[in-house]
Structure 1
Amino acid sequence: MENIVMCIGNEDNGDDGIGPYIAKRLKDENLKDFLILDCGTVPENFTSPVKKNSPVNLIIVDATDMGLPPGEIRRIPREMIAKMHISTHNIPISVLISYLESHAKNIIIIGVQPKKMTGSMSEEIKRSCEKLIDLIKNRKFSEIEMLKIEKKK
């Protein structure tokens, strides 16, 4: 399997539902060379397919508070992961990545800035999800802007 997409989130928590939303939409596309995993809030329960398939690209998608306007999409550098709160997981995403790093050639972490974490998903977040779905299915990961690391003064 060339690409595995781990979609993380809880659809009962407003914009945290981007993971399940993106997983459903990508599954509907029937993409070749893609395995789409709707991991809910327990991505650690979905490590076996990654280990079994050793993908070229492991793409992890989650709602992430990056301090940006709602709906902004960024690739998150691995060195920033430990410093950020990413969604509602049982284990830190940095631990998950460390566990899987020997099983994937590239690990691409993609965050979408949420607007709210209650009620239903925001319309602007749905629009951002559609943009992200298009980028993923067309393998345009590098077109997603990298989150900038703030230099301490």
Structure 2
Amino acid sequence: MTTPAPKNLLLGIGHRHHGDDALGPVFARAFRHPDWLSRDAGTMPENFAGLVRRIQPHTLLLLDAADMHLPPGALRRLEPSAIQSGDFGTHAGSIGQLARYLADCAQEIIILGIQPATTAPGNRLSPPVRATLKNLGQLLHANAPWPPWLSLKSEENTP
């Protein structure tokens, strides 16, 4: 008997050696759940388009550091159509383009941005970003629907 394929795909995006920009890859490498396939997409998430097309996940979750001019650790759900190159950080243009390109491959595409404290080379994840990642992991493990604070229409997107 074979194990069923995970229903969802998480791509952690970012530069592994640039402080909080590493949050996507760090989370992707650590997160394990039977309903999720989790991959470190580094700084080239477009290289995973073939995987997305092949597995056709129910939910495609793209996680990255996003400079939104908010307090460090703030988490926001970002609308793919609203992301333009350079609006939210070094990978944002490719994330929005990737989400639009893969729109027909997943029932739901969720882009989550977390405000970094620093993206300077050599730094580790900041305490506020670590806390946000811990909360995100608990949310995904609970298999709960997205809470109101992650709604695209919510003004206050904090737990």
TM range (shorter): 0.7 to 0.9
Aligned partners of 1:64 and 1:139: how far apart in 2?
Answer: 25
Aligned partners of 2:105 and 2:77: how far apart in 1?
Answer: 20
Say whether the 8 Å CA contact 2:57–2:106 is kept in structure 1: yes
**CA displacement at 1:34 relative to structure 2:** 1.0
For structure 1, which segment, 1-10 or 133-142, has the greater mean C-alpha deviation from structure 2 after superposition? 133-142
**CA displacement at 1:63 relative to structure 2:** 0.4
Say whether the 8 Å CA contact 1:7–1:23 is kept in structure 2: yes
Aligned partners of 1:50 and 1:90: how far apart in 2?
Answer: 18
Counterpart residue identity of residue 137, structure 2: I
Aligned partners of 1:24 and 1:62: how far apart in 2?
Answer: 13
TM-score, scaled to structure 1? 0.85
Partner of 1:5: 10
Aligned partners of 1:60 and 1:129: how far apart in 2?
Answer: 13
Q: How does 1:2-81 map to 2 (within 5 A)?
A: 2-26=7-31, 29=32, 31-81=33-83
CA RMSD of aligned residues (A): 2.2
Counterpart residue identity of residue 20, structure 1: P
Matched, 1:131 2:135: yes
3-state DSSP class of the match of 1:85?
Answer: coil
1:89 to 88, 91, 98: 91
Could you say if the C-alpha distance between residues 4 and 100 of structure 1 is closer, same or farther in structure 2, counting changes exceeding 3 Å? same
In the alignment, structure 1 segments of 5+ residues that lack a partner are none
Counterpart residue identity of residue 138, structure 2: D
In the alignment, structure 2 segments of 5+ residues that lack a partner are 1-5
Aligned partners of 1:149 and 1:42: how far apart in 2?
Answer: 30
Aligned partners of 1:66 and 1:18: how far apart in 2?
Answer: 15
TM-score, scaled to structure 2? 0.82
Partner of 1:100: 102
3-state DSSP class of the match of 1:115?
Answer: coil
How many residue pairs were aligned?
Answer: 147
**CA displacement at 1:146 relative to structure 2:** 3.6
For structure 1, which segment, 6-15 or 130-139, has the greater mean C-alpha deviation from structure 2 after superposition? 130-139
Greater share of helix = 1
**CA displacement at 1:101 relative to structure 2:** 0.7
Aligned partners of 2:102 and 2:81: how far apart in 1?
Answer: 16
Counterpart residue identity of residue 111, structure 1: G
1:122 to 116, 120, 126: 126
